[in-house]
């Protein structure tokens, strides 16, 4: 009988890698707390309509990539492919806008898209991100971007990343630009891919997302969205740039940047790295001032971003940025069966004081246990043999410098606490 294996597009995160995930997640928790953001957790699956209404009926996510099924109550459910819509749904459902004029949320969790698996992106993938509801002002945009930059900076990535910034304006701006873009592209329709031909009919701005060289060449002469900004759009975007300049956050204005989801308005941004090749985006986001209302709530401005955890970890690896692997403080070796109660008691007393302790539970030889202690990187070994049991002491060995001495069993906790201080 064949062994079970993980499903295509999913992967196990083994202990040799999971500590890297914990390191990244701890920085996310820390930085978000510094900015006053609170964690939100939403269900893994939602109503299918939540995503078709928010992301866009004709988006690639809805038409090709969602995992959906019909349940016993004749409703269609979907594994979440993104997290902005679920957070907005939760904001509406719990009437959070009535509790405070502004809400700042962050999240960490898995998402699901039926894409072609590739390095740094699987069918089950993981993101962290933030969503803010209540402010339509440019300083809120700057705060969101700075928060993203600070997380990557604390991971050591700020020297080899690029912030791409744009504004796609209000509805008035986008409507005028959409007409101009369609007029420009119409003579080239036969040269466009089938995907771009479909986008030409549904949302021509999405054609700007293309990675096809021929289409990129055509788009070089396309009109730019900034030529269609209203005075409001110009003022908002200029203020965002002013605040980023004040905070010494470097950026490149990219008028071709539109982002892939239909709900964005005004400010959009991506942070990329050339070290990741063609799939170079680490995180992306923008403003979505109509989304909450579109999902049945009161008109509420919002802005946020989502970051790919797998891609960030891949970039850390490519840039050879090491994350320290956690190691135990003490490894306890017990060589006598009758000493096990004493060994367990010492281990527990030390754990309750905050020390990381590993005890052998295989009753292996002294040599095998010492080899294991060195392999897992323990700092100290405590040895409890026949003579130690008789004399009520314990042998302490420092694995860093090989120094060894005897300590009374009742003094062992105080010894390590004093050593820690």
Beta strands 124-133 and 162-167 are: unpaired
Label residue 178 by pLDDT band (50, 70, 90).
confident
Question: What pLDDT score was predicted for residue 92?
Answer: 95
Which numeric CATH code is attached to 15-170+230-318? 3.30.930.10
**Per mean pLDDT, which range of 49-58, 69-78, 173-182, 321-330 is the poorest?**
49-58
* Mean pLDDT of the region 302-325: 92
| Nearest by Cα to 292 from 143, 138, 103, 113 | 103
**Per mean pLDDT, which range of 44-58, 171-185, 358-372 is the poorest?**
44-58
**CATH fit for domain 330-420, picks 3.40.50.800, 3.40.50.2300, 3.20.20.70, 3.30.2020.30:** 3.40.50.800
**Alpha carbon distance 43, 35 (integer Å):** 25
List strands edge to edge, sheet with 393-398: 357-359, 330-334, 380-384, 393-398, 404-408
Q: How far is CA 303 from CA 67, 104, 124, 182, 295, in A?
A: 26, 10, 25, 28, 15
**Per mean pLDDT, which range of 75-79, 229-233, 278-282, 376-380 is the poorest?**
278-282
Delimit the domains of the chain by residue range: 15-170+230-318, 330-420
Strand partners, 186: none
Dump pLDDT digits (tens) for 204-232: 888 887 888 898 899 988 999 999 999 99
Question: What pLDDT score was predicted for residue 297?
Answer: 92
DSSP H or E stretch at residue 314: helix 309-318
**pLDDT higher than 90, residue 384:** yes
């Amino acid at each position: 009988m064949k062994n079970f294996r993980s499903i295509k597009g999913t992967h196990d995160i083994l202990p040799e890698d999971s500590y890297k995930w914990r390191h990244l997640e701890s920085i996310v928790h820390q930085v978000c707390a510094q900015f006053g953001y609170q964690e939100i957790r939403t269900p893994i699956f939602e109503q299918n309509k939540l995503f078709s209404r928010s992301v866009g009926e004709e988006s690639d996510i809805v038409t090709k990539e969602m995992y959906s099924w019909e349940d016993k109550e004749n409703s269609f459910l979907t594994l979440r492919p993104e997290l902005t819509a679920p957070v907005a749904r939760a904001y509406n459902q719990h009437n959070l806008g009535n509790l405070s004029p502004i809400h700042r949320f962050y999240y960490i969790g898995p998402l699901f898209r039926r894409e072609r698996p590739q390095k740094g992106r699987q069918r089950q993938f993981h993101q962290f991100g933030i969503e803010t509801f209540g402010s339509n002002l440019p300083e809120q945009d700057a705060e969101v971007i700075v928060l993203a930059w600070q997380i990557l900076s604390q991971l050591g990535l700020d020297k080899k990343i690029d912030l791409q910034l744009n504004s796609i304006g209000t509805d008035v701006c986008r409507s005028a630009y959409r007409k101009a873009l369609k007029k420009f592209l119409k003579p080239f329709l036969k040269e466009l891919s089938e995907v771009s031909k479909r986008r030409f009919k549904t949302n021509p701005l999405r054609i700007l997302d293309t990675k096809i060289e021929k289409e990129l060449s055509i788009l070089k002469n396309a009109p730019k969205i900034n030529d269609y900004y209203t005075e409001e759009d110009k003022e908002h975007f200029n203020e965002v740039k002013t605040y980023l300049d004040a905070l010494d956050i470097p950026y490149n204005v990219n008028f071709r940047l539109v982002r892939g989801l239909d709900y964005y308005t005004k400010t959009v941004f991506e942070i990329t790295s050339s070290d990741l090749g063609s799939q170079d985006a680490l995180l992306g986001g923008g403003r979505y001032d109509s989304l909450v209302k579109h999902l049945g709530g009161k008109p509420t401005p919002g802005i946020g971003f989502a970051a790919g955890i797998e891609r960030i970890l891949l970039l850390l690896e490519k840039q050879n940025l090491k994350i320290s692997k956690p190691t135990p403080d003490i490894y306890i070796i017990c060589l006598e069966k009758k000493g096990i109660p004493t060994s367990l008691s010492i281990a527990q007393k030390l754990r309750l004081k905050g020390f990381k302790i590993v005890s052998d539970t295989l009753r292996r030889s002294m040599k095998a246990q010492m080899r294991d202690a060195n392999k897992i990187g323990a700092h100290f070994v405590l040895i409890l043999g026949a003579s130690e049991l008789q004399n009520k002491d314990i042998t302490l060995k420092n694995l860093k410098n090989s120094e060894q001495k005897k300590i009374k069993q009742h003094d062992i906790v105080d010894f390590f606490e004093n050593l820690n201080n």
